[in-house]
Chains A and B, each alone.
Chain A
């Protein structure tokens, strides 16, 4: 199962205006969470994801990213 990491000291709250991956505009005051995906993990992540399938990626793979991001938000939120 591929892995990800978080640059925890760089998790911060900012007001951001930026373009999302699909080009849509994002305007939000939000936690910014830097997700680190090692280059040697990118292939495995891409193989685990089929954008045309609504059930992709598998729940177990999704949980790796979700838990990393949510742990980061939780820790940052509690530190505030």
Chain B
């Protein structure tokens, strides 16, 4: 028989703990993921300053993205380089249980990706799934993205998986890596840090790593979820080229830090 407290641990009221939400009564073991994320479900807005995305489709959890031609490559389309980011990205308000996250909230944002290592794309490409401060900026430090990063080099057999912090990344490609769990601890007026575990299809660690961010965020700024695609390096793109197919998930937790300060 389970043992149930007589009093709510938060309020002290009789009758045991209250249910739902954070605060001690919520489900925190096996927290479900949102998703698979569907970039075509109407909740996402595409910001694509140079009109590189021709189409995105979603089937059985997998995204297929077809690109317009990019004659000359540029580091501006590489999420993991430089200070100007003009690569396309989908975004939506970052919320937990209907409450909008702001840059004041220290939040654990957890991202998962599975990449299609057969369809790795026609050009060297990268995928970001993260949290950010301003997805419609083209300045890396203003976007201030932090989260999961995957990249595929067309001549390689593996996908490198790991973390992106603003405009730099740490990734690992090992074995036939195609799955990665990345947690970003973001907020408190800073872009924070991220850590990752590349996992096999049994959910066991294959490799892991981490990276710190280095951007101070403005106070009380609304935050966004972001899925960004781009090139790896400065490579051109031919008309109708695809980037790597992927499915991705997300969940997030904001603890009641104020309650223990």
Task: Identify the A interface with B (CB < 8 A).
Answer: 12-19, 25, 27, 32
Q: Is the CB of A27 within 8 A of B168?
A: no
Q: Which of B80, B82, B233 has the most CB of A within 10 A?
A: B80
Complex: how many Å from CA A39 to CA B116? 47
A14 touches B75 (CB 8 A): no
Contact residues, B153-192 vs A (CB, 8 A) = 160, 162, 167-173
Let me know if A25 and B169 touch, CB within 8 A: no
A25-B82, A27-B233 are known contacts. Are A15 and B173 too (CB-CB below 8 A)? yes
Minimal beta-carbon separation of A22 from chain B (angstroms): 14
Segment 76-112 of B: residues with Cβ below 8 Å from A = 78, 80-82
- Chain B: minimal CB distance from A77 (Å): 17
Q: Flag whether B209 is at the interface (Cβ < 8 A).
A: yes
A-B contact count (CB 8 A): 34
**14 sample A-B contacts, Cβ–Cβ < 8 Å, listed by A number:** A14-B162, A14-B170, A14-B171, A15-B162, A15-B169, A15-B171, A16-B168, A17-B78, A17-B80, A17-B81, A18-B168, A19-B167, A25-B81, A27-B81
Leading 5 A-B pairs by shortest Cβ distance? A17-B80, A18-B168, A15-B171, A17-B169, A14-B170
Residue of B whose beta carbon sits closest to that of A16: B170
- B positions within 8 Å CB-CB of A: 75, 78, 80-82, 160, 162, 167-173, 209, 233
Write out the residue numbers on chain B whose beta carbons fall within 8 Å of the beta carbon of A25: 75, 81-82
Q: Contacts of A19 on B, CB cut-off 8 Å? A: 81, 167-168
Q: Which of A15, A17, A18, A27 contacts B172 (CB 8 A)?
A: A15
The answer to whether A15 and B75 touch (CB under 8 A), given A25-B81, A25-B82, A27-B233, is no
Closest CB-CB distance, B178 to chain A, in whole Å?
15
Provide the bound-state CA to CA distance between A32 and B75, in Å: 23
Q: How far is the CA of A12 from the CA of B174 in the complex (A)?
A: 14
Give the shortest distance, in Å, between A54 (CB) and chain B (any CB): 30
Determine which of A12, A17, A27 lies in contact with B209 in the assembled complex, contact meaning CB atoms within 8 Å. A12
Closest Cβ of chain B to A67, distance in Å, is 26
A16-B170, A17-B80 given. 13 additional CB < 8 A pairs?
A14-B170, A14-B172, A15-B170, A15-B171, A16-B168, A16-B169, A17-B78, A17-B168, A19-B167, A19-B168, A25-B75, A25-B81, A27-B81
Contacts of B81 in A (CB 8 A): 17, 19, 25, 27
